């Protein structure tokens, strides 16, 4: 690859000791010019950075640009953007591809791009930039050395096990003998993860967690949506409109929330979350070769997270379905929800179908999802929120779809259903995939906030509560006398984990 003397000078100036990051991004990345905090983040000389950022603050472009310039300026540089989900990890790749498309200045540095089982960019100078899911405890990220790793949206991970594993990958030397950078970045939104809060305050001056010793190794940055001067006031107002006031501080201002008053304690929510289910989906949908396994599906939206997760049918299992009709789209309060749970071995319940339905102003997408789930899982009990304006939908709309339901009246049963869900959560009898929206709603829900004026999103909670309530009415004869384990065990072996009934996991 031939470079002009000007390009050689630009790449040399882009190295950290010369402070020319902005010169390289302007020339190679379509005039992308870093904002002040993006420039400082790239150049900070600390091995552990933690960034909590609001929506639209430029976090993804900051990571993508910084890692690309490092790959271009240091031969043999190994960079990884990892997240708890493959789709989230690939957002930075999409940003890079946007800069590369039709841009010969940047494209000539790229030797090859592999897309399966996950995106990998190979540079002409032997540098590599990978984008993939980390897996539970970062079990997919083993066996190689890296210069930089960004753990994207780390707040979705309730444990710091993955961060400790990723830190162990940052070591060694490059092929030319130079020492690897060994920098670990955590960039996301403040949330329920206690470890992320502690890590952030270790690197933030002026608080009890930060000491002269921690500040040698940790550095933290908070970015508000309002800090991004590229956003117009109207764009910010449109972002604010998607969130109730209680979440504005978290989602736009980057402030850690107080979940102490939630009806569902976060430690019990975490005990019900089984990240190996997410790994099972990832392995099934991203095989090393061949086609994805049938019966699985996963759809993720940026910032919203998973809106659909689907697992295969086990014909020997017993299922319950519940739905909350709606015409809006996630994460708004009136979005429809459909859930199916495997209740073969009471009191255990495993979520096997989750659809936070984009309604786009119509009930039909919800009804289509509900009918599809009924036909696939053949549930023995079928619940739906049959109160208010949805009563007519239940009586008329579902007749047109040929569906017979076991109605639920939230007006009379809401407290009882919430109590049933609370018992199941605190008893750890739910086995749930890691679903961003569900965790957020559970961890912020308070009964005293449940008023029409507050409009706190709760559709996911109430659909889950329907199943907890209905499961107590399943006839004993409907349950198998002995739970068939073959299919479940085989699927878990592919992800390398098994569980006890409390939902804790250890490697085989």
Question: What structural domains does the chain harbor?
Answer: 5-248 (3.40.50.300), 266-500 (3.30.420.240)
Per residue in 421-450, pLDDT (tens digit) is 999 999 999 999 999 899 989 988 887 655
Chain centroid to Cα 40, Å, comes to 26
How far, in Å, CA of 483 to CA of 492, rounded? 16
How far is 132 from 198, CA to CA, in rounded Å? 25
Check: CB of residue 342 under 8 Å from CB of residue 311.
Answer: no
501 falls in which pLDDT band (50, 70, 90)?
very low
Residues 6+ apart with CB under 8 A from 104: none
The model's confidence at residue 397, banded by pLDDT at 50, 70 and 90, is: low
pLDDT tens track for 246-286: 678 888 999 987 666 678 988 899 899 998 999 999 999 98
Per-residue confidence band for 171, with pLDDT thresholds at 50, 70 and 90: very high
pLDDT of residue 385: 80
- For 110, residues 6+ apart whose C-beta sits below 8 A from its C-beta are 100, 121, 122, 123, 124
- Spatial separation of the C-alpha atoms in residues 213 and 221, rounded to whole Å: 18
Structure tokens at 332: 């708004």
Residue-level pLDDT at 428: 95
Task: Express each pLDDT in 446-493 by its tens digit.
Answer: 876 555 445 567 899 999 999 999 998 887 656 654 444 434 333 433
Scan for tokens 């790449």, then name that residue.
11
- Beta strand 381-385 with 305-310 is unpaired
| Neighbour tally for 449: CB within 10 Å | 17
**Token duo for residue 343:** 């209740």
Of the CA atoms within 13 Å of residue 360, those in its CB half-sphere come to 3
For the chain, what is the mean pLDDT? 86
Terminal-residue alpha carbon distance, the chain: 46
Instruction: Read off the tokens for 360.
Output: 């786009």
User: By percentage, how much of the chain surpasses pLDDT 70?
Assistant: 85
Between the CA of residue 111 and those of 89, 139, 174, what are the distances in Å? 21, 28, 18
Please state, in angstroms and rounded to a whole number, the distance separating the CA atoms of residues 156 and 342: 24
Q: Decide if pLDDT at 386 tops 50.
A: yes
Give the whole-angstrom CA distance, residue 458 versus residue 337.
Answer: 11
CB 337 within 8 A of CB 326: yes
Place of tokens 């289509």: 368
Query: Could you tell me which residue, 445 or 53, shows the higher pLDDT?
Result: 53
82-91 tens-digit pLDDT? 998 878 889 9
Beta strands in 159-311 (DSSP E): 183-188, 218-223, 297-301, 305-310
Instruction: Write the CB contacts of 114 (distance below 8 Å, at least 6 apart in sequence).
Output: 120, 122
Indicate if the alpha-carbon torsion angle 171, 176, 177, 178 is positive or negative. Answer: negative
- pLDDT band (50, 70, 90) for residue 206: confident
Helix (H) or strand (E) run with residue 431 in it:
strand 430-431
DSSP single-letter state for residue 395: I
Q: What kind and span of H or E run contains 506? A: strand 505-507
Mean pLDDT of 12-20: 93
**Who contacts 215 (Cβ-Cβ below 8 Å, separation ≥6)?**
202, 203, 205
> Degrees (nearest 5) of the Cα angle 461, 249, 201?
105
Structure tokens at 231: 């956003």
CB 314 within 8 A of CB 378: no
As beta bridge partners, residue 112 has 122
Cα 313 to Cα 376: distance, rounded to the nearest angstrom: 7
Q: How many CB atoms lie within 10 A of CB 203?
A: 23
Report how far residue 306's alpha carbon sits from residue 280's, in angstroms, rounded to the nearest whole number. 15
Count of CB atoms situated within 10 Å of the CB of 220: 23
**Which DSSP letter does residue 256 get?**
P
pLDDT tens digits along 276-329: 999 999 999 988 888 999 999 999 987 788 999 999 999 999 999 999 999 999
**Residue 335, strand partner residues:** 328
CA 135 to chain centroid: 11
């Amino acid at each position: 690859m031939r470079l002009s003397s000007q390009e050689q000078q630009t790449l040399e100036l882009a190295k950290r000791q010369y402070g020319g990051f902005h010169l390289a991004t302007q020339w190679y990345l379509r005039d992308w010019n870093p904002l002040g905090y993006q420039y400082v983040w790239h150049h900070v000389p600390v091995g552990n950075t933690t960034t909590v950022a609001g929506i639209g603050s430029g976090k993804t472009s900051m990571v993508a640009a910084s890692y690309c310039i490092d790959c271009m300026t240091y031969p043999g540089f190994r960079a990884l953007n990892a997240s708890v989900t493959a789709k989230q990890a690939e957002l930075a790749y999409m940003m890079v591809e946007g800069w590369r498309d039709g841009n010969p200045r940047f494209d000539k540095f790229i030797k090859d791009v592999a897309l399966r089982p996950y995106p990998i960019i190979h540079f002409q100078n032997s540098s590599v930039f990978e984008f993939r899911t980390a897996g539970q405890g970062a079990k997919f990220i083993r066996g190689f050395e890296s210069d930089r790793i960004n753990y994207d949206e780390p707040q979705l991970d309730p444990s710091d096990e993955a961060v400790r594993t990723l830190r162990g990958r940052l070591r060694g030397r490059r092929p030319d003998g130079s020492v690897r950078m060994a920098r670990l970045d955590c960039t996301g939104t403040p949330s329920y993860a206690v470890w992320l809060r502690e890590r952030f305050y270790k690197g933030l001056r002026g608080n009890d967690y930060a000491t002269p010793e921690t500040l040698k190794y940790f550095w933290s940055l908070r970015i508000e949506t309002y800090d991004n001067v590229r956003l117009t006031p109207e764009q910010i107002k449109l972002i604010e409109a998607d969130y109730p006031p209680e979440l504005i501080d978290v989602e736009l201002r980057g402030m850690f929330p107080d979940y102490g008053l939630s009806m569902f304690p976060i430690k019990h929510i975490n005990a019900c979350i089984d990240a190996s289910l997410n790994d099972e989906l990832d392995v099934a949908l991203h095989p090393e070769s061949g086609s994805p396994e049938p019966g699985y599906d996963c759809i993720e939206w940026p910032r919203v997270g998973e809106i659909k997760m689907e697992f295969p049918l086990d014909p020997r299992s017993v299922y319950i379905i519940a739905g909350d009709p709606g015409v809006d789209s996630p994460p708004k309060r009136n979005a429809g929800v459909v859930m199916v749970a495997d209740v073969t071995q009471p009191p255990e319940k495993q979520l096997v179908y989750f659809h936070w339905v984009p309604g786009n102003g119509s009930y039909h997408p919800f009804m289509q999802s509900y009918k599809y789930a009924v036909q696939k899982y053949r549930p023995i009990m079928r619940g739906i929120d049959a109160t208010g304006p949805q009563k007519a939908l239940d009586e008329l709309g579902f007749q047109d779809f040929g569906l017979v339901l076991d109605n639920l009246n939230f007006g009379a049963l809401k407290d009882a259903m919430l109590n049933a869900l609370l018992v199941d959560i605190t008893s750890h009898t739910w086995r749930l995939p890691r679903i961003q929206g569900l965790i957020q709603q559970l961890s912020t829900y308070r009964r005293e906030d449940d008023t029409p004026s507050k409009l706190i999103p709760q559709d996911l909670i109430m659909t889950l509560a329907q199943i907890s309530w209905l499961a107590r009415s399943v006839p004993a004869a409907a349950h198998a006398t002995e739970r068939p384990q073959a299919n479940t065990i085989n699927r878990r072996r592919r992800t390398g984990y098994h569980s006890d009934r409390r939902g804790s996991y250890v490697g085989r």
